[in-house]
Amino acid sequence: MHRRFVISALCVCLTLSAAARTRPHYGGTLRVETAGDPWQMPDGIARRLVLDTLTTASDTGGAQPALAVRWESQNAGHRWEFWIRPGVHFQDGEALTSDTVAAALTDVCSRQTGVGAGAGAASGACPWRTVRGVGASVVFISDSPVPDLPELLAQTEFAVARQDASGAVIGTGPFRVTGFANGALTLVANDDCWSGRPFADAVELRTRRAVRDQWLDLSVGKADIVEVPPELLRQAEQQHMNVLVSRPVDLLALTIAPEGWFASREMRQAAALAVDRTALYNVIFQKQGEVTASLLPESLSGYAFLFASDRDLDRARALRGGATTAAMMLGVDDNSSTMQLAAERLALNLHEAGFSVQVLAAGSRQTSALALRRVHLEAAGAQAALDEMLSRFGQNGAGSMTGTGTDAAALWQQERGVLENETIVPLLWLPRAWAVGERVRDPRLLSDGAPDLSDASLEGAK
């Protein structure tokens, strides 16, 4: 029943984006406000507008051509060759070549900060050993097979960027940065963009803006697109805001470091059985998203229900035994009050099972055995999504495809192998949502819940 509701809600959201329409108009300035960094995930709106990736994710999760027009796996998935789209230019007029692509991707790998730094951080090491330009193609070599490399390269962290003479970041995308003033980043349309000129002439992006201020700006017509955190979706609906809701794209999960008290699997399992997902869902997140014990949302895998998500306090207590544990710390990977509340709720759950847990104050740098994380999922295909989640949780290459029969069954076995360690306890899958002003025509969300500004147009523009 619950699943049907989720599917219905998703359909309503997608139908909204596919509503009847006239053709999009050209011109005007889109005004967007966010609380996050314009260059960092999960939104990274400026990054998405300025830069392109070799591939993009289709709605069904497959890779489709972007800066690469085709690709081929060789040597049993150890070598991949991607052919670069001809005639593409950076926003300063310099031609895109296989060498510039290889250099940009090498730079991405060298800048990656490793795992555990939060949802915005780049994931673990790049899945390839070397990347180089060979004629019109880019060749990736890896030590182990990477069957879903085309899907992985669709992630925005692998976008192709360059610095121009002034040191500014430039790309091949539909917009280019022209300035930053009074807290607003201004981007203008790239007329020669290989994927077509965007409809809006410009995007004005106000960043690091509190949600309350964003909503105020939308209500007085000073903003066109603003954020709606999932826990405020009901409030937004009550205020009759026009809201676009994505499918579930953010995983709320408890991670347990297998050390100290939690070195034993039984203790980790006890902690996992003690958490009350339903309370988090009902109270903290106002019944948005879906309760889960899976690393993939139900809509992506179709099998998430196979992972039991019910609380079993008696079994948790039995597994913990009579041992008296020292106070353990629970860290939170973002400073929002909602995440702090969720962490407090988890600490209470664990206390009921006999664990002594203290929540670290927001912004604390103290290390902790337990961490509440909100992890963004960008991939739209099941296998690439599982790989992405494992990478974000620092479990690259974890599990193995031992299943037989269908892909879904093999994927389930791989995921089950990872979750059996009880070091990752998935709790909730949450959607992303945006409120849209009346001026915006054809508002749509990308598969990972970010607003699609390249294809948005404005009412009254010509």
Asked if residues 198 and 189 have their Cβ atoms less than 8 Å apart, the reply is yes
Unique residue bearing structure tokens 């007329």: 191
Cα–Cα dist 358/351, whole Å = 10
Residue range at the interface with other proteins (CB under 8 A); choices 15-23, 180-188, 261-269, 354-362: 15-23
Asked if residues 89 and 192 have their Cβ atoms less than 8 Å apart, the reply is yes
Residue range at the interface with other proteins (CB under 8 A); choices 6-14, 35-43, 348-356, 424-432: 6-14
**According to CB under 8 A, which one of 72, 94, 192, 420 is a site residue for other proteins?**
192
Cα–Cα dist 225/450, whole Å = 11
**According to CB under 8 A, which one of 16, 108, 243, 329 is a site residue for other proteins?**
16
Should residue 412 be labelled a site residue for other proteins when binding is judged by CB under 8 A? yes
Residues 6 or more apart whose CB falls under 8 angstroms from that of 62 comprise 151, 381
Should residue 114 be labelled a site residue for other proteins when binding is judged by CB under 8 A? no
What would the DSSP string read from start to end of 376-417?
E----SHHHHHHHHHHHTT-TT-S-----SSHHHHHHHHHHH
Count H helices, E strands: the chain? 13, 23
Give least dist CB 5 to other proteins, A.
11
- Cβ-based nearer residue to other proteins, 131 or 385: 385
- Cβ-based nearer residue to other proteins, 23 or 212: 23
Should residue 60 be labelled a site residue for other proteins when binding is judged by CB under 8 A? yes
The total number of residues written for the chain in this structure:
462
Residue range at the interface with other proteins (CB under 8 A); choices 48-56, 250-258, 327-335, 399-407: 399-407
Should residue 188 be labelled a site residue for other proteins when binding is judged by CB under 8 A? no
Cα–Cα dist 375/401, whole Å = 23
Should residue 420 be labelled a site residue for other proteins when binding is judged by CB under 8 A? no
Asked if residues 225 and 445 have their Cβ atoms less than 8 Å apart, the reply is no
What would the DSSP string read from start to end of 66-97?
SSEEEEEEEGGGTEEEEEEPTT-B-TTSPBP-
Give least dist CB 440 to other proteins, A.
12
Should residue 298 be labelled a site residue for other proteins when binding is judged by CB under 8 A? yes
Give least dist CB 146 to other proteins, A.
21
Cβ atoms within 10 A of the Cβ of 428, count?
A: 24
Residue range at the interface with other proteins (CB under 8 A); choices 114-122, 161-169, 339-347, 374-382: 374-382
Should residue 93 be labelled a site residue for other proteins when binding is judged by CB under 8 A? no
**3 state SS of 118:** coil
CA angle, 226 then 231 then 232, to 5°: 45
- Cβ-based nearer residue to other proteins, 128 or 412: 412
Should residue 230 be labelled a site residue for other proteins when binding is judged by CB under 8 A? no
**According to CB under 8 A, which one of 24, 77, 116, 147 is a site residue for other proteins?**
24
Residue range at the interface with other proteins (CB under 8 A); choices 14-22, 104-112, 154-162, 178-186: 14-22
Q: Which residues contact other proteins by CB under 8 A?
A: 3-4, 7, 10-12, 14-26, 58-61, 191-199, 298-303, 305-306, 380-382, 405-409, 412, 441, 454-455, 462
